Amino acid sequence: MAVDFNTLTKDYSGELYFNDTIEHQAVRIAYSTDASVYQEMPVAVAIPKDTADIRRLIEFAGQHGLTLVPRTAGTSLAGQVVSHGVIVDVSKYLNAILEVNPEEKWVRVQPGVVRDDLNAWLKPLGLMFGPETSTASRAMIGGMIGNNSCGLHSRIWGNTRDHLLEVTAILANGTEMVFGPIDVRAARQEHPIYPAILDLIEHGANQSLITGNFPKRSVPRRNSGYALDHLVDQLSHSGRINLCSLIAGSEGTLCFVTEAKLKLIDLPPKEVGMVAVHCSSLQEALQANLVAVRSGCAASELVDHVILEQAMNNPEQAQNRSFLVGEPNAILMVEFFDESSDALRQKCVDLVAAFTQAGIGYAYPVLTGIETKNAWDLRKAGLGLLRNIKGNAQPVNLIEDCSVAIEDLPAYIGELESLLARHGTQYSMYAHAGDGELHVEPMIDLQSATGRQLFKTILAETADLIKKYKGSLSGEHGDGRLRGQFIPVVMGPEIYHLFTQVKSIFDHRGLFNKGKITDTPDMLTNLRYSGFKANAHQCSDMRFFGDSLIMIL
Ligand SMILES: Cc1cc2nc3c(=O)[nH]c(=O)nc-3n(C[C@H](O)[C@H](O)[C@H](O)COP(=O)(O)OP(=O)(O)OC[C@H]3O[C@@H](n4cnc5c(N)ncnc54)[C@H](O)[C@@H]3O)c2cc1C
């Protein structure tokens, strides 16, 4: 039976779009997708004014068996905010910076605060929120928590989980909770979530399962499933737990975050420099990466020849290529910070010496100041440049977020290249070599049925590789409805069973963001390319320009 949203509007003060009028349909279509390849028409879109509205929405969803999806900027790449349920966008009204304590270095914010806006506000205090994403000018704290986001400086600035001190959230039963560090003995007397989670992670057999089946210790980026491994570590190291570790990376499936207390760090030293080592092959660049990470660099990022060639066709990025020498197959950009320009230059000189001594690379331009920024602009333009490739076979986000230990990267990438060659698939790769994660983007025609089948086959076979190397299916983008199906394959059925228990401890009715992390449908379900029916009689077509969905009326 159709849900009567008119009964909700009486004691709800936010915006709500749920009917078949053109305005409501247009809003629902706009929220039917994110930056992923998925699309599904939500039954409603809600834009709550305050936490009382969120509580009311949770109550209503519970009464009517609806799933409710917390959403901020909607830049997720794996379909995390695509659903047939109620999309709840907190970016419009829940976007205040509430309190800052410069001495103790923390800030308290609502989930709709944009990461770069927060840092612009903090700059006069000499502080910043470290974790970044390429989308930091739009991505918001709620979404960064949901995906446990991080970026190209995660070697030194970590991920969102590392900086999440406290979370205020509304649970599926409408209770408001503040999650923060708590002594295990005290936790047992707290809300029933605590003893239930403690029973799960203190159980000896479960601890062995977690130790044995989560990514190996040396994998720096580990974003698949619920972070039970972090809780086990907290338990053994401090006798305290902080369930924020579980909420970070939970893709909106456990609770609705309404406030977050974030740890801040000092602004980075002012001198910035980079060595851009030029390599004749991808494998050589991956060997360079092993040398670079030993140097204490702030970032080590790879750009392959496909992106470098694409940059020639883009007037802005063509200029940013000016530091290139010859035609490298791949370059590795290794960045350092320092307070002193002399010390900075010395770090670069030492690294170049290490490369030449190891016989790696053929050119080593050292860039400083604005030259560094231009080189980073070229690297960050990677994804956009790839999207300009002509033809139906387009680079897809699929295995781009799989990560392994840094020392395993050369062997893993070697096997992945063989896998892609077996399928006759072209690809590009770039990004976070220094964190064991290359964004490998196979070029696949998702308009065709064979392309869609290939899409699934490549992920299935890569999942087996990730399992072999004890890596992580997702390093920063999350699994969403893209990779979620393969969590049990990579981490094993027993770990998956623990995840279903976590979900049920927080949300036994499946109210929050159903079908993400647990019970994920087949990855080919609700692909944007396979006949999305919006029923919007006035909307003749929809096109994506970058991240934005434009409706053509
Ligand atoms: C071009 C491009 C580049 C990208 N590069 C990076 C990168 O470098 N690093 C990186 O980490 N990611 C990257 N991403 C992915 C994405 O931008 C980030 O994960 C970003 O932090 C998501 O923020 P958002 O505000 O868009 O969240 P959304 O997409 O709106 O939501 C993300 C998740 O958080 C949950 N959520 C949102 N608000 C709440 C809340 N209040 N309570 C509970 N759960 C909530 C949602 O349900 C969802 O599961 C990239 C994406 C694109 C399109």
Atom of ligand 1 nearest to the CA of 257: 42
What is the predicted pLDDT for the residue at 383? 76
How is residue 271 written in tokens?
């001198």
Which residue owns the Cα nearest ligand 1 atom 17?
A: 75
Summarize pLDDT for 417-448 with one digit per residue, the tens.
Answer: 999 999 999 999 999 999 999 999 999 999 99
Summarize pLDDT for 296-306 with one digit per residue, the tens.
Answer: 999 999 999 99
User: CB within 8 A of 98, min separation 6: which ones?
Assistant: 108, 109, 110, 259
What is the predicted pLDDT for the residue at 11? 86
- Contact, 57 vs 46, CB < 8 A? yes
Strands 86-89, 44-47: pairing kind:
parallel
- Contact, 342 vs 296, CB < 8 A? no
How is residue 338 written in tokens?
């320092």
Probe target for ligand 1 pocket from 32, 68, 133, 387, with the most ligand atoms within 8 Å of CB: 133
> How far away, in angstroms, is 81 Cα from ligand 1 center?
9
Which residue owns the Cα nearest ligand 1 atom 47?
A: 252
Q: What value does the CA radius of gyration of the chain take, rounded to a whole number of Å? A: 23
> How far away, in angstroms, is 134 Cα from ligand 1 center?
11
What is the predicted pLDDT for the residue at 489? 96
> How far away, in angstroms, is 141 Cα from ligand 1 center?
9
How is 48-96 classified by DSSP, letter by letter? -SSHHHHHHHHHHHHHHT--EEEESS---SS-TT--SSEEEE-TTTS--
- Considering Cα of 279, then 285, then 289, then 290, what sign does the dihedral take? negative
Atom of ligand 1 nearest to the CA of 431: 8
DSSP state of 408: G
Site residues for ligand 1, CB cut-off 6 Å: 34-35, 69-77, 80-81, 90, 111, 133-135, 139-140, 142-144, 146-147, 149-151, 251-252, 256-257, 383, 476-477, 513, 547
> How far away, in angstroms, is 386 Cα from ligand 1 center?
21
Residue 442 to residue 400: CA distance in whole angstroms = 9
Q: How many CB atoms lie within 10 A of CB 56?
A: 20
Q: Please report, for residues 45, 84, 514, the alpha-carbon distance to residue 61 in angstroms, rounded to integers and kept in the order given.
A: 12, 13, 12
What is the predicted pLDDT for the residue at 385? 81
Which residue owns the Cα nearest ligand 1 atom 13?
A: 133
pTM to 2 decimal places: 0.95
Ordered mean pLDDT values, 10 residues apiece, the chain (553 residues): 87 95 96 96 98 97 97 98 98 98 98 98 98 94 98 95 98 97 94 96 94 96 96 93 98 98 96 96 98 96 93 88 95 96 96 97 95 90 80 94 98 98 96 96 95 98 98 97 97 98 97 98 91 49 46 46
Listed in order, strand segments (DSSP E) in 227-298 are 240-242, 256-263, 265-266, 271-279
> How far away, in angstroms, is 51 Cα from ligand 1 center?
21
- Contact, 10 vs 59, CB < 8 A? no
> How far away, in angstroms, is 257 Cα from ligand 1 center?
14
